[in-house]
């Protein structure tokens, strides 16, 4: 097995870099060196065993990339020469297929398609020279994926070890209109500092992403245990070591350390979430129910953590009581968004959820004003292209009556 240090780059959503660096350190221990949060990801130096371990255990990264070359460029010909100098034949063979994925920031080149074509030609030509034949391109199900990243001045070439992006855990076959990526749900859980000992509840759970991620954590289930990875097709792959690592992960599963709950006003969604939980191996570790977040009482006597991405009013409107007030439909599509919903939700929490901490992911900068609550933390996070914040609200025990209707109810500046 190749144990010499490899330069790895683990891309993640903006805002998640610090959490990912902590996760990498936890997963790899001493086997990773120079773990650094960079822009849009984490860099580190580690061996092949860490590559397998990170793919299997990371909840936060989108993929695990091996950096093979970085050098300055100015033209397409420079890209060709850079790609032709990489020993691709160490990673895959001429009978396998490959694909080029190219991203760029401020590249001076006119056509990124042409740039990708030049890299493809360089890889093919190198194989012809070194091995006498060349691998085919397959854009759908390639054996090997080559990632090219261009900045204004430099090109970086990577071989991907993940294959399908890591947010595809393999359990979410059923989803609604606005599902959260599993990696972002995991980032919300990590940012909240949930310790997997106190109860966790998502009252707008949709297809169950947050609750299922949390239940897997509570049960010690590795996020990648249901899927396959790109590295299994690469030449350095060692099946016996990989089988042992998977076995170790299987043996680490345990009974849940904390209760996890989810509910949604849409019974169809609860049904989806239940089926997803089953596939994820946590059907017994998460309790899923139908019900309006404006009416549901705490699922446990012991206060815990609420974690949710509620209906934004863009793809999904608030349903239940708030929806009915606006037109009597389960998912009313009316002007004015979900404003009333949030005021009512805050009032319900103040009254019934004393002692709980609520973490809400929202693109709405005015959400605290609408809820008449002052957030105690505000963490920037991107939900795909949507700029959001994860807001923490502390439902202080005993403060509900004092606050209701009083001046102390309003967020400063509201």
Ligand X SMILES: C[S@@+](CC[C@H](N)C(=O)[O-])C[C@H]1O[C@@H](n2cnc3c(N)ncnc32)[C@H](O)[C@@H]1O
Is residue 209 at the binding interface for ligand X, with CB under 6 A as the rule?
A: yes
CB of 339 closer than 8 Å to CB of 323: no
**Which residue's CB is nearer to ligand X, number 122 or number 215?**
215
Taking the complex as a whole, how short is the minimal distance between the CB of residue 118 and ligand X, in angstroms?
A: 40
Q: Would you say the C-alpha torsion 155, 161, 164, 167 has a positive or negative sign?
A: negative
**Which residue's CB is nearer to ligand X, number 124 or number 212?**
212
Is residue 222 at the binding interface for ligand X, with CB under 6 A as the rule?
A: no
CB of 253 closer than 8 Å to CB of 204: no
Is residue 311 at the binding interface for ligand X, with CB under 6 A as the rule?
A: yes
Is residue 264 at the binding interface for ligand X, with CB under 6 A as the rule?
A: yes
Cβ neighbours of residue 374 under 8 Å, at least 6 residues apart? Answer: 368, 393, 411, 412
**Which residue's CB is nearer to ligand X, number 102 or number 210?**
210
330/230 Cα distance (integer angstroms): 42
Closest Cα to residue 227, out of 156, 279, 152, 296?
A: 279
CB of 167 closer than 8 Å to CB of 263: no
Is residue 332 at the binding interface for ligand X, with CB under 6 A as the rule?
A: no
Number of residues that bind ligand X (CB under 6 A): 26
Is residue 276 at the binding interface for ligand X, with CB under 6 A as the rule?
A: no
**Which residue's CB is nearer to ligand X, number 157 or number 214?**
214
Taking the complex as a whole, how short is the minimal distance between the CB of residue 177 and ligand X, in angstroms?
A: 8
DSSP 8-state secondary structure symbol assigned to residue 140: S
Helix (H) or strand (E) holding 381, with range, is strand 377-383
Closest Cα to residue 162, out of 234, 236, 243, 63?
A: 63
Stretch that binds ligand X, among 143-151, 155-163, 292-300, 375-383 (CB under 6 A): 292-300
Is residue 390 at the binding interface for ligand X, with CB under 6 A as the rule?
A: no
Stretch that binds ligand X, among 25-33, 76-84, 92-100, 312-320 (CB under 6 A): 312-320
Stretch that binds ligand X, among 46-54, 240-248, 258-266, 346-354 (CB under 6 A): 258-266
Taking the complex as a whole, how short is the minimal distance between the CB of residue 218 and ligand X, in angstroms?
A: 18
Site map (CB under 6 A) of ligand X, residues 8-37, x = contact: ------------------------------
Taking the complex as a whole, how short is the minimal distance between the CB of residue 377 and ligand X, in angstroms?
A: 20
Stretch that binds ligand X, among 102-110, 150-158, 221-229, 307-315 (CB under 6 A): 307-315
Strands 136-137 and 97-104: parallel
Closest Cα to residue 395, out of 355, 365, 352?
A: 355
Nearest residue by C-beta to ligand X?
A: 206
| CA atoms within a 13 Å half-sphere pointing along the CA-CB vector of 122 | 23
CB of 226 closer than 8 Å to CB of 251: no
Stretch that binds ligand X, among 72-80, 117-125, 204-212, 381-389 (CB under 6 A): 204-212
208/176 Cα distance (integer angstroms): 10
Is residue 294 at the binding interface for ligand X, with CB under 6 A as the rule?
A: yes
Is residue 298 at the binding interface for ligand X, with CB under 6 A as the rule?
A: no
Question: Among 143, 292, 364, 375, which residue sits at the site for ligand X (rule: CB under 6 A)?
Answer: 292
Taking the complex as a whole, how short is the minimal distance between the CB of residue 346 and ligand X, in angstroms?
A: 13
**Which residue's CB is nearer to ligand X, number 242 or number 382?**
382
11/165 Cα distance (integer angstroms): 10
Chain residues in the site for ligand X (CB under 6 A): 175-176, 178-180, 203-204, 206-207, 209-210, 264-266, 269, 292-294, 309-311, 316, 318-320, 322
């Amino acid at each position: 097995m190749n144990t010499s240090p490899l330069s790895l780059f683990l891309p993640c959503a903006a805002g998640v870099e610090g959490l990912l660096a902590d996760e990498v350190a936890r997963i790899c221990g001493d086997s990773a060196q120079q773990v650094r949060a960079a822009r849009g990801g984490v860099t580190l130096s580690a061996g092949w065993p860490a590559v397998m371990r990170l793919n299997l255990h990371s909840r936060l990264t989108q993929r695990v990339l091996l950096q093979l070359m970085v050098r300055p460029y100015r033209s397409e010909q420079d890209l060709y020469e850079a790609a032709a100098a990489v020993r691709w034949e160490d990673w895959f063979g001429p009978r396998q297929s490959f694909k080029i994925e190219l991203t760029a920031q401020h590249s001076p080149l006119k056509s990124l398609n042409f740039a990708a074509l030049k890299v493809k030609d360089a890889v093919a030509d190198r194989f012809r020279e070194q091995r006498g034949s060349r691998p085919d391109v397959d854009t759908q199900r390639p054996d090997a994926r080559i990632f090219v990243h261009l900045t204004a001045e430099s090109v970086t070439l990577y071989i991907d070890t993940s294959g399908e992006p890591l947010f595809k855990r393999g359990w979410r076959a059923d989803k609604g209109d606005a599902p959260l990526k599993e990696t972002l749900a995991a980032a919300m859980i990590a940012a909240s500092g949930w310790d997997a000992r106190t109860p966790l509840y998502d009252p707008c759970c949709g297809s169950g992403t947050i609750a299922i991620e949390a239940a897997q954590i509570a049960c010690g289930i590795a996020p990648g245990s249901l899927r396959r990875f790109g590295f299994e097709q690469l030449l350095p792959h060692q099946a016996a070591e990989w089988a042992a690592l998977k076995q170790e992960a299987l043996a680490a599963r345990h009974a849940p350390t904390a209760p996890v709950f989810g509910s949604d006003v849409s019974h169809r969604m609860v049904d989806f979430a239940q089926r997803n939980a089953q596939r994820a191996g946590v059907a017994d570790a998460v309790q899923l129910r139908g019900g309006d977040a404006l009416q549901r009482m705490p699922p446990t006597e012991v206060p815990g953590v609420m974690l949710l991405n509620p209906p934004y009013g863009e793809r999904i409107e608030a349903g239940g009581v708030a929806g009915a007030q606006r037109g009597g439909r389960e998912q009313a599509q009316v002007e004015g968004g979900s404003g009333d919903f949030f005021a009512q939700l805050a009032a319900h929490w103040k009254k019934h959820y004393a002692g709980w901490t609520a973490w809400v992911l929202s693109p709405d900068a005015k959400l605290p004003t609408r809820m008449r609550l002052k957030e105690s933390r505000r963490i920037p996070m991107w939900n795909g292209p949507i700029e959001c914040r994860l807001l923490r609200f502390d439902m202080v025990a005993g403060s509900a009556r004092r606050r209701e209707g009083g001046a102390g109810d309003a967020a400063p500046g509201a």
